Structure formats: C-alpha cells, structure tokens
C-alpha cells in the first residue's frame, strides 16, 4: 500500500461573498480567494486528500486544476452537497463519482446544511481546515471543525476578506495568516508539505 493513504485530509471552507445574501459578513477579495484556492491546489492536490462542501464559483477551478496537474480529481477531492440544493448542482458533479449527497430536511435550508456539514466533518480525519472569503457558513463550519475535528490546525486566510477575515480576528490568528500574501509559501509552511513530495497522479492514493 502506498504511503499516501496515511495522510489526514485538508478541509476547505471557501466561498465568494454575495452582498445580497442574508448571511453576508463583509466584502471578500475575489482575486485573493481565487489565488488562495489555486495555491492550496498547487501545494496539496495529489499530496493530501481535500474535502469540502462545494461552491459553484470554485468547483470548476478545482477539477480544471486537477486536470492540469494530471491528478485524479475524483480520487483526491471529496465534495459534499446537500440534496436540498440538487437543482443547483453543477453538471460536472455527476461526472467524477466523488460527490457525497447528504439527506435534505424538507423545506429547511439550515438543517439540511447542518446534516451535510456534520457528515462531511465526521467521515474523514483532518490535519487542517483552511478558511477563505465566505459568509455565515464559514463560522458554522468553524464551530463544527472545533467539535468534530478538534485536532485540525485552523487556518483562516484573513486577506481573502469576508467571514474568513472576521474569523481570523475572533480567534486572534497569527500574523502570517493576516499579512502573508504569498499563499503558496504560507501553505507549504503551515500544512508541513515538502515541495518535492510527489503527487499521487492517477494512482497514488490507493496504489499497492
């Protein structure tokens, strides 16, 4: 069995804030959110499993990045979605076989999200949780990380704005999470990943 199976996952909590949404918690820096997600993929994709709850603006970026790096997206990224939002799923969701659809609470958006997040954060073992941009869901996911994945390192990337900036202020994030704009260097350091570590490619994770 390959050594990659031993690695714990990285949880990504990211979204582009929508000022018209009731869960809005401040402007996000769209370019910074995109840069942070790109940096995380460059640093970790094919080296650590990545788990997250999806965001329509970001999901396509992840599978395109996996293709560019020749990493098996369906094996290294696990995407959780609530059945409550099934009408809004990107068509690509069906293509990769890596989407876990959780039960919806009929007519109850918040309860449906809670069910999804609890499964998402209890079905993997996490070494880190990275927060970027986002709205009220960032805080909901942070609270569940502290409950269900308490061993995970909490990394709110303050410069991406939105709820991640507020979370960074609330937990008094260290200076590097506030000031470091070289996200690649920041994530290599904070996730303790060696830049020379090979990527799993299309075999890696479950190779024998």
The mean per-residue pLDDT over the stretch 159-181 comes to 95
The model's pTM is: 0.90
Position 96 scores a pLDDT of 75
The three state secondary structure string of 33-60 is: HHHHHHHHHHHHCCCCCEEECCCCCCHH
Residue 5 has pLDDT above 60, yes or no: no
Residue 12 has pLDDT above 90, yes or no: yes
Q: Are 135 and 19 in contact (CB under 8 A)?
A: no
- 3-state secondary structure (DSSP) of residue 58: coil
Residue 49 has pLDDT above 80, yes or no: yes
Residue 11 has pLDDT above 50, yes or no: yes
Position 201 scores a pLDDT of 53
Q: What is the mean pLDDT of the chain?
A: 89
């Amino acid at each position: 069995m390959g050594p990659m199976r031993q690695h714990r996952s990285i949880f990504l909590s990211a979204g582009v804030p929508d000022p018209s949404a009731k869960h809005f918690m401040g402007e996000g820096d769209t370019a910074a959110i995109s840069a942070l997600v790109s940096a995380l993929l460059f640093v970790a994709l094919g080296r650590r499993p990545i788990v997250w709850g999806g965001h329509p603006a970001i999901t396509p970026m992840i599978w395109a990045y996996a293709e560019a790096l020749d990493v098996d997206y369906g094996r290294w990224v696990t995407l959780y979605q609530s059945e409550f939002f099934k009408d809004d799923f990107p068509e690509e969701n069906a293509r990769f076989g890596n989407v876990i659809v959780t039960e919806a609470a009929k007519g109850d958006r918040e309860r449906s999200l809670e069910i999804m997040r609890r499964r998402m954060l209890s079905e993997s073992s996490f070494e880190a949780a990275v927060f970027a941009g986002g709205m009220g869901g960032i805080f909901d996911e942070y609270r569940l990380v502290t409950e269900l994945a308490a061993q995970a390192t909490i990394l709110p990337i303050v410069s991406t704005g939105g709820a991640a900036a507020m979370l960074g202020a609330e937990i008094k994030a260290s200076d590097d999470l506030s000031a470091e704009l070289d996200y690649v260097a920041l994530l290599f350091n904070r996730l303790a990943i060696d830049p020379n570590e090979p990527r799993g490619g299309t075999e890696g994770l479950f190779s024998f």
